[in-house]
Amino acid sequence: MHPQNPTLQGIFPGHSTLTVLRTLNASFTPVPNVTAFGSNSSVYAQLFYDGVEQFYCTANSCTQDLGSGDGSSNWNCQNLKCTCRKGTSFCGAVSVSDLTGIINTLSGTLGISCNAPSPDNHTATCAFKQDTIQEVFGSAGLALSGCTFGECIAQSTLDTLSGNSTTSNDNNSGGSSLSGGVIAGLAVVGGLVGIALFLLLLGWLSQRRARKNCVGALDRSGGVAAVWSDVSYVVPQYSGVSWSSRRRKNDSENQKVILDNVSGRVVPGEVMAILGPSGAGKTTLIEILAQKHKSGRVTGRVSFTAKGGGNVRVGFVPQQDVLPPMLTVEEALLFAARLRLPEGVPDSEKHARVDDIMDRLGIAHLRNVRIGDGEKRGISGGEMRRVTIGLELVAKPDVLILDEPTSGLDSVSAAKVASVLHALAHDPENPTAVIASIHQPSSQLYHSFDQILLLSHGRALYSGPGGFAPAEYFSAQGIQYREGYNVADYLLEVASDPPVALFQLTSGTNSGLHNDTGGSSTDEVEKGLGGRSPNLALENKTEDDERPKKQRWYNARQYQATFLTQLEVLSAREWKILGRDKTLFFAHIAVACVLGVFCGGLYFQTDDTIAGFQSRVGCLFFLGALIAFSSLSALYNVVEIRPLFLRERSASYYSPTAWLLSRFIFDVLPLRIIPTIIVSTITYWMAGLAADAAHFFKFLFILVLYTLAMTLFNFLLACLFRNGGIAILISALTALYQMTYAGFFVHLNDIPPVLRWLQWLCPLKYALEALSVNEVGSGLMIQDSLAGVPVDVSASLIMRTLFGFGQNNYYRDVLVLFAFIAGFGLGVIFVVWLRVRERR
């Protein structure tokens, strides 16, 4: 056999001969150790150059495949070991062509494949295959020409074994079977898909069971009363910036008192207004009554007394109107009804409930008008306020608490809101306790309230009937009231600079406070410091069970809708928003098309030279970097929608997991996957990459995996940082880090060891390596010339030399990218559950 390769012939122009001696069975040979060497099923090969042996190789455990019956054959042997003859042309005689280091490291599996001999000269063409040789000369291995065959066997053996076949027809399973790591990875992926389908089935069964259950009455006979006593709230106050001062949270000298032993009571059928100047503690008290998470220390008792028992539904209307701008008024209310009313309530009843709420709020004529925002005008501020109230009323709350519902409204709009609240509280069939903080009410608005709680510097100056009763009370204390003057303005003047004696007077029991709770069942909440943590643990008690029960760290209120229903309703809203606001989607598509044409034109039909191969890898690197930076829009989308999520989560609309899944589906698929496929497809065929379907789809598969990883990573940053600017900065810096450690700009082995380990944390490194290996795996050969010497070697050799990528790392890289996706996904879920919650 004669090696035939332009590069090899350019370096060694002499005559080369390769002799391969295979020992099938040592007992069959005529003269052992002369006509055969080694044990059974072994191979002994020698390469001669100009008649001088250069090196020899041995291998064992050989099997033979006779091919498809056309006379071709394939040998595959294990445990290859080669030894160089020192001082020969191949092994040190000339330093420029010294191959000792390469030859002595040849190991692993040896393959020899031969075509059928030609009938003209009875010679055949063969190929000598081994991993290192294939990296240099391509997947076809080292080509051999002029191959002749012969056998040496004892006559007695021929006589004995006449007619018997001694060759093994076992196929070589090494080339077609998958490695154990790949099989394990596919098993994991299949398991995850199976788990997802199983969970989907469980969700469907749970949804079906919930919809079959009978629905109890949502309205309470007699309503629910709200009672609070000795409610106090303090927050740490830092006089300096030293670390030690920030740690002394329990030091009373470093605490600011926001509320100081405030008590009050509201029964069904009454509307209470909490009045006071700015900084008096109105909003803080409102949030404590609504059981919102507070960053400071809360003490005291808040109880809700009802005749019917069960869970008390407390509705909370925040000061800001955080609404979905792309939905209509009816769609926003129906979204709340489908998630906040029990699963078993038919959809027709939910529609009827929404119609009733719109009629009561006076917004029925706006049912098909989009809500809008600051950029796109929709409904007015007063109408937005009524829609926000409607989102709480649709869930039929037992107690409604509002934070400054009339702020920013004109007198007419404020009067309409007050009229709605008054009608809700005094509903003869279902009276409701309503509590609202009011900043500066008009005289007409003030007289619509049944109860008044006046705060000053965190203390209650008055708690009792409204109207002129507060003015009469303070007049009796020596603070003169002028007839005809707005009572609300008078009370605010009193609270702005109250006499010290007034605080001493109210230090015991607040005026007008009723302490009788009544009712047959009580849901009490006691809030205490509970240790060093500012995020307090809650204790729940009932009259039937006096033992305190530790409340869970998350919101213990159960969701009314099942998980599958939550996902369906959220997905329906996302689909509507995507359909109505097509700007972002078409912008992504247009940018993908433009960049695809630009990148394809930049690397148009790259050739098979060394420089051309570097351009191919550059094209792949460009696509990866493009995905890393374009995924920043995913971060911005989460930051933009975060306030709406916080409001809806605090009201127990849906599980954070359902929200994440809907965001993932309607952000990743239309805005990430589709643009990635477009830009990749245009670039792939314009650049002239591997022109077969298998390698093209493997190329797309890697880019889709990398897109998913980068999208989830940006989701994680958006959830970790409240400041979107910080999240965007970190994402951009991370993209630069990935570009550095991807292996394109700098050879990974040239990086100092103290920094080299960072490559293993770089998703782009694995994506670029997998893309490059996929391109080389198509059989790409480099055809070039260096200093007049023709170069005809496998592209895998150039890939390993220039970039340090491993030829067999494709499936490993796939599994690593899956690991990044799983890690980022679990991180997003963990962070959203723990950190992305309303804190006041």
448: CATH: 3.40.50.300
Question: What is the structure's pLDDT at 236?
Answer: 81
| 780 in a structural domain | yes
Which residues lie closer than 8 Å to 776 by C-beta, 6 or more apart? 794, 795, 796, 799, 807
Q: Among candidates 678, 684, 715, which has minimal Cα distance to 699?
A: 684
Token pair of 594, please?
Answer: 């433009």
Q: Tell me the residue type at 155.
A: Q
**From edge to edge, which strands make up the β-sheet containing 538-541?**
255-266, 224-236, 297-306, 521-527, 538-541, 549-550
| Cα dihedral 558, 561, 562, 564 in deg (nearest 10) | -140
Residue 187 structure tokens: 């098993």
Number of C-alpha atoms within 13 angstroms, CB side, residue 595? 21
pLDDT of residue 540: 35
pLDDT of res. 37: 66
Residues 149 and 286 in one domain: no
Torsion, Cα 172 175 178 181, to 10 degrees, reads 110
Question: Per the domain annotation, does 558 fall within a domain?
Answer: no
Q: For residues 212 and 204, give the distance between their C-alpha atoms in angstroms, rounded to a whole number.
A: 12
CA-CA distances (angstroms) from residue 156 to 29, 33, 35, 149, 469? Answer: 10, 18, 15, 21, 129
Half-sphere exposure of 744 (CA within 13 A, CB side): 28
- Give the model's pLDDT for residue 779: 80
Q: What is the pLDDT of residue 625?
A: 93
335 domain-assigned = no
DSSP-based three-state secondary structure for 516:
coil
pLDDT, position 156:
62
> 599 with 451, same domain?
no
Show which of 103, 124, 154 is a domain's final residue.
Answer: 154
Whether 473 and 619 share a structural domain: no
User: Tokens in use for 340?
Assistant: 């906040």
Whole-number Å distance between alpha carbons of 244 and 235: 17
Residue 99 lies in a domain: yes
User: Domain ends where: 154, 177, 202?
Assistant: 154
Cβ proximity of 454 and 494 under 8 Å: yes
Residue 230 near residue 224, CB atoms below 8 Å: no
The verdict on residue 815 lying in a domain is no
Distance of CA 640 to the CA centre of its chain: 16
Closest CA to 799 of 622, 617, 625, 618: 617
Q: Which domain holds residue 454?
A: 256-312+398-498
CA 237/CA 253 separation, integer angstroms: 8
**In the prediction, which pLDDT does 35 show?**
64
> How far apart (Å, rounded) are the C-alpha atoms in residues 130 and 814?
25
Query: Which residue's structure tokens are 């066997």?
Result: 153
pLDDT < 50: residue spans in the chain: 164-176, 216-217, 220-221, 243-246, 249, 508-557
Q: At what angle do helices 795-803 and 763-776 cross, to 10 degrees?
A: 160
Are 800 and 683 within one domain?
Answer: yes
- Looking at the 3D structure of the chain, how many domains does it have? 3
Tokens of 615: 């351009």
Specify whether 728 is located in the same domain as 633.
Answer: yes
Q: Where does a domain end: 154, 172, 190?
A: 154
With left for phi above 0 and alpha for psi between -120 and 50, is residue 408 left, alpha or beta? left
**51: which strand partners?**
none
Shared domain check, 587 and 487 = no
- The Cβ of residue 76 has, within 10 Å, a number of other Cβ atoms equal to 22
